[in-house]
Amino acid sequence: MSGPRREEVGIANLARTFCEGSPLGCTTIPADVERARPRGVLGGRGGVRATDTVDAFVEERVLPEFRDIVAMLRAMMRECAPQATERISYGLPMWMGNSTLAWISPSKRDITFGFTYGREFEDRYGLRRGPGKPARHVKIRKLADANQEALRSYIRQALERDSR
């Protein structure tokens, strides 16, 4: 393993400078400063960086009980949108074509599968939700409850919208 990154060394030096000038005369780096993330970390939670893989994101940020849902969504995107690029952007897994097609956002209660222009989609399934101007999402709590036909329809519509 290589040594600490330049930003990490900068944080440690800042902490040492703080300690040396402190009237308390602390001799160790405060834990909250030692754990501080460099500015390159996205999303603030989980320490996922733009250069990390989606696999790393799933391991760090998705609760084990929801990982099967994420695996299904990733497989579905590979099947329905093989030309889309899967990557971490804005701290979340996203699929990119000419623009952002879809993204996954985990929470403690479910997985959100969002579509940038979902408001424009035909929704004969009635699953899309969201207050955003163009974006809409689907909440998935259990793999067995996921309407895969509806999700494929939304992905196809995202691809059609992206090709305009």
- Measured between alpha carbons, how far apart are the two ends of the chain, in Å? 46
Say which residues have a Cβ less than 8 Å from residue 130's Cβ, sequence separation at least 6: 114, 118, 119, 136, 137
For residue 74, what is the domain's CATH number?
Answer: 3.90.1150.200
Could you report the per-residue pLDDT of 58-108, keeping only the tens digit for each? 999 999 999 999 999 999 999 999 999 999 999 999 999 999 999 999 999
135 in the same domain as 58: yes
Contact, 137 vs 123, CB < 8 A?
no
15 in the same domain as 68: no
Residue 61 domain-assigned? yes
Can you tell me whether residue 20 is helix, strand or coil? helix
In which domain, by residue range, is 2 found?
1-39
Count how many domains the chain has. 2
Residue 49 domain-assigned? no
Q: How confident is the model at residue 42 (pLDDT cuts 50, 70, 90)?
A: very low
When comparing pLDDT for 84 and 27, which is higher? 84
